[in-house]
C-alpha cells in the first residue's frame, strides 16, 4: 500500500516533534462538524509519533524535507501514499515516511457531518538540532505557508456524496509508451469546499496528456475547505499531481 489536526508539541527526551494544525477534534461521533479535514492526530500510532527519528540519525539521515500525499479512509487508515519533491539526500526520510504511513492511524475527514474518504497532502521537515532530531509535519505544500510555519491546512478532495472525485486516471490513450509524469494545477476553493477555478500551470513531459488528465480528475471534485487557525477559509493553492502507469482509482 504505497506509491504521507491540531496543534501539538510532543517533547521527548531525545526529540522535538511538532505538527502544525489547530482544529477541534473533541466532538462526539453524533455531533460531527460540518467540515473537518484529515488530521495527523497525536496517538501512539499517529505518523508524527511513529517516525523513528533516532533511527534516522543512526542511519545517517541529515537535514531533509519531503512532500507526500495519502488517501485516508473513513476509519483513519491509509489506503495509498506517495512521496515526492524530496530534497537531495532525503531517501532515508522518504522510506521512513512511507513505511510508517502503512500502519499509521489518522483522524478521518468529515463533510456534512459524515465521515468521508479524502486525500491529505503534507510536508515533512527533518533536522538535527543540538544533536537531537527535530521532526515537523505541515498539512499543506504551499511554499509561503511553509516558510512562515503558518497554521494552515490545504483543501482536501474527498470521495462520495456530491463529490465526483474518483482518484487519478493515467492518460493511457495519449501516452502509448508508459512513462511517469507530473501536472501542476492551480486551485481556487471557497470556504464551503466548492471549486471555483482550476487551471493548468505546467506539465512534464509535455504533450503526453498529463495536464488534461489532472484537470479532468479534479474539475468535478468537491473539497474539505482549507483551514486557517482552526477555521474554514477560501484558498488558492498549487497542487502537484503525479501520474504513474498504474495510479489509484477509488472504489466503494
pLDDT digit string (tens) for 12-35? 223 444 555 556 555 555 689 999
79 φ, ψ to 5°?
-85, -45
Q: Quick check: 97 and 83 in contact, CB under 8 A?
A: yes
* Alpha carbons 42 and 107: distance in angstroms, whole number: 9
Closest CA to 184 of 153, 235, 124, 142: 142
Closest CA to 4 of 77, 100, 69, 62: 69
Per-residue pLDDT, 19: 54
Per-residue pLDDT, 5: 30
Q: Which domains does the chain have, with CATH numbers?
A: 8-154 (no CATH), 172-243 (3.30.1150.10)
Spans of the chain below 70 pLDDT:
1-30, 247-252
Task: Kindly give, in sequence order, each residue whose CB lies less than 8 Å from that of residue 58, ignoring residues fewer than 6 positions away.
Answer: none
Q: Quick check: 71 and 80 in contact, CB under 8 A?
A: yes
Give per-residue pLDDT as tens, 118-127.
999 999 999 9
pTM reported for the whole predicted model: 0.86
Q: Quick check: 111 and 158 in contact, CB under 8 A?
A: yes
Per-residue pLDDT, 21: 56
Amino acid at each position: 500500500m504505497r506509491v504521507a489536526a491540531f496543534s501539538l508539541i510532543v517533547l521527548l527526551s531525545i526529540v522535538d516533534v511538532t505538527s502544525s494544525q489547530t482544529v477541534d477534534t473533541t466532538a462526539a461521533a453524533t455531533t460531527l462538524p460540518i467540515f473537518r479535514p484529515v488530521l495527523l492526530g497525536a496517538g501512539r500510532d499517529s505518523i508524527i509519533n511513529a517516525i523513528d527519528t533516532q533511527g534516522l540519525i543512526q542511519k545517517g539521515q541529515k537535514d531533509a524535507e519531503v512532500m507526500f500525499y495519502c488517501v485516508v479512509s473513513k476509519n483513519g487508515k491509509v489506503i495509498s501514499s506517495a512521496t515526492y519533491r524530496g530534497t537531495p539526500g532525503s531517501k532515508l526520510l522518504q522510506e521512513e515516511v512511507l513505511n510508517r504511513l502503512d500502519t499509521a492511524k489518522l483522524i478521518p475527514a468529515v463533510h456534512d457531518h459524515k465521515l468521508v474518504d479524502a486525500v491529505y497532502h503534507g510536508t515533512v521537515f527533518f533536522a538535527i538540532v543540538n544533536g537531537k532530531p527535530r521532526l515537523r509535519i505541515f498539512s499543506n505544500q504551499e511554499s509561503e505557508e511553509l516558510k512562515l510555519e503558518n497554521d494552515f491546512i490545504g483543501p482536501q478532495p474527498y470521495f462520495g456524496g456530491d463529490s465526483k472525485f474518483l482518484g487519478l486516471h493515467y492518460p493511457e490513450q495519449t501516452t502509448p509508451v508508459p512513462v511517469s509524469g507530473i501536472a501542476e494545477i492551480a486551485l481556487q476553493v471557497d470556504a464551503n469546499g466548492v471549486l471555483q477555478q482550476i487551471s493548468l500551470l505546467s506539465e512534464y513531459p509535455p504533450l503526453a496528456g498529463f495536464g488534461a488528465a489532472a484537470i479532468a480528475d479534479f474539475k468535478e471534485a468537491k473539497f474539505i475547505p482549507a483551514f486557517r487557525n482552526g477555521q474554514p477559509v477560501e484558498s488558492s493553492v498549487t497542487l502537484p499531481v503525479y501520474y504513474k502507469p498504474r495510479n489509484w482509482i477509488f472504489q466503494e
